[in-house]
Amino acid sequence: MKSQIVCKFGGTSVANAAQINKVKDIILQNKERQYVVVSAPGKDSSDTEKLTDHLINIATDGRHFRSQSKEIDAQKSYKHVIEKFQRLIADLGIEGKDIIKNLEKDIKKPIPEGKKKDFLASRGERYNAEIVCRYFNKQGILSELVLPEDMGLVVSEIFSNASVIPVSYRNIREKLSTVEGVSVIPGFYGMTAKGDVAVFSRGGSDLTGGEIAYAIEAALYENWTDTDGIYQVDPRLIPEAKVIPRLTYKEIRLLSSKGFDVFHYDAMVNCKKRNIPIKIRNTNNLASEGTLIVSERVPEEVVVGIARKDNIAYLYIERDGAGESISFVHDLLSVIKDYGIETYHYPTDRDDIAILLNQDDMVGFAKDIKETIEKEFNPDTLEFSYNISILSPVGIGMKNHPGVIAEAATALKEQNINIDIINQGPAQISFHFGFQNYYADSALKAMYKTLIK
């Protein structure tokens, strides 16, 4: 299967009939596009919320939207989901009464509370894939719907954050080798060994595509979305920013961990193992070549992109010998982990350590965390700082180019921007500057002008 291509289409690419027709044209353009992974239909002009959120709202009897102060009860969500699929079926001109009937049956199916959310959340992908498959066949593209349960996509029992069990790869390879024509596969979910539906983390259709590509040893994994590729910086702030033609897995990993959210990083892990290139393409702009993610590349620039992460909290602790203690950092991070808070960097010195945290995760926990740390570690100093932004220039060309950090720091000095945090990645292909959020826009523009433009 080495010459064949796996294509994953995101929610915006399959949001309505017009978008699904574009997907059909893309498949027809290249006969090697034999594996199509489908997301749930995304938002279009008729939607205020994502379909998956409506399904989760049904599963939680309206609590999902109530927790966001939105007046959408489970019945309204049910109505929206059914009408969305009815509209897709009608606009595509396919037969689909049985699809709606089965969807309604699934929504009303009695499922234990701890498993219900995953089951219903997966129904958007499940039934959208069936709709796409029927439309392909109507348009003359021989296609077969291949469900995760049909191809043995076995996942762990960690609901809402499942991972693929290795036996799946043989199962997938064997099943897909028997399919004539295009395999249309719903993304986002798999089946536990006990036969329950378990979903990946949000954005998990990317992961499904990556795992399919790995299993069949694809020549290429195409990820179709609504953006032209990975940009050097956020084009909403800097309109002249360009799409990056090539990135290494390492570079996209560093960029995606700091705010580049075009692609689910976990989808790359196994592709990287088999050197399967990944291409980010725009369903709405075929003229754009997109961004190709590869194992190696020859850099033509020093800095390839600058990622940005806002709303970071900064925890600073000082205690004699803290940075030299083998267990200190581990024990401190364990305390933070117990509260379910995402962490980013841990700069240390002999007597102090700083930890960067997701500020949003801290809501309601800051006082408890502080009290726990004071009790268990008895620090000389313990301080929290909030509303920090991190800018992270990335590029493999940086490693052999002296003075990049100095150039960036000088650019910020000229704008009278004070740097609160400086940290360089150990691979020497990234570094991180932190400062108050209100400096972030000006800082990004200054660093872009100096390091990239």
CA–CA dist 141, 311 (Å, integer): 47
CATH of the domain at 384: 3.30.2130.10
Q: Is 396 left (phi over 0), alpha (psi -120 to 50) or beta?
A: alpha
Contact 197, 118 (CB under 8 A): yes
In a domain, 39, yes or no: yes
In a domain, 300, yes or no: no
Kindly report the backbone phi and psi dihedral angles of residue 2, in degrees, each rounded to the nearest multiple of 5, phi listed first.
-60, -25
Task: Write down which residue in 228, 260, 294 finishes a domain.
Answer: 294
Strand order in the sheet with 305-318: 352-358, 305-318, 381-394, 431-436, 421-424
- Quote the pLDDT of residue 351: 87
In a domain, 36, yes or no: yes
In a domain, 85, yes or no: yes
In a domain, 209, yes or no: yes
Residues 187 and 287 in one domain: yes
In a domain, 23, yes or no: yes
Nearest to 250 by CA among 294, 302, 316: 294
Residues 322 and 281 in one domain: no
Cβ neighbours around 245 below 10 Å, total = 14
Instruction: Count structural domains, the chain.
Output: 2
Strands 220-225 and 5-9 come out as parallel
Residues 346 and 409 in one domain: yes
Residues 252 and 323 in one domain: no
**DSSP for 178-219, written as a single string:** T--SEEEEE-SEEE-TTS-EEE-STTHHHHHHHHHHHHHT-S
pTM of the model: 0.89
Each of the 453 residues of the chain gets a pLDDT tens digit; together they read 568 999 999 999 999 999 999 999 999 999 999 999 999 999 988 899 999 999 999 999 999 999 999 999 999 999 999 999 999 999 999 999 999 999 999 999 999 989 999 999 999 999 999 999 999 999 999 999 999 999 999 999 999 999 999 999 999 999 999 999 999 999 999 999 999 999 998 778 899 999 999 999 999 999 999 999 999 999 999 999 999 999 999 998 888 765 566 667 777 888 999 999 999 999 999 999 999 999 999 999 999 999 999 999 989 999 988 767 778 888 888 888 888 888 877 777 888 888 899 898 888 888 899 999 999 999 999 999 999 999 999 999 999 899 999 999 999 999 999 999 898 888 899 999 999 999 999 999 999 999 998
- Quote the pLDDT of residue 46: 85
Residues 321 and 363 in one domain: yes
- Quote the pLDDT of residue 260: 60
Task: Note down the domain range covering 387.
Answer: 305-451
In a domain, 299, yes or no: no
Residues 95 and 59 in one domain: yes
Residues 259 and 142 in one domain: yes
Residues 317 and 270 in one domain: no
In a domain, 235, yes or no: yes
Residues 131 and 266 in one domain: yes
Task: Write down which residue in 294, 319, 336 finishes a domain.
Answer: 294
Residues 274 and 400 in one domain: no
Residues 363 and 249 in one domain: no
CA–CA dist 416, 439 (Å, integer): 9
Task: Write down which residue in 269, 294, 319 finishes a domain.
Answer: 294
CATH of the domain at 99: 3.40.1160.10
Strands 381-394 and 305-318 come out as antiparallel
Residues 267 and 328 in one domain: no
**DSSP for 287-334, written as a single string:** T---EEEES----SSS--EEEEEEEEEEEEEE-TTGGG-TTHHHHHHH
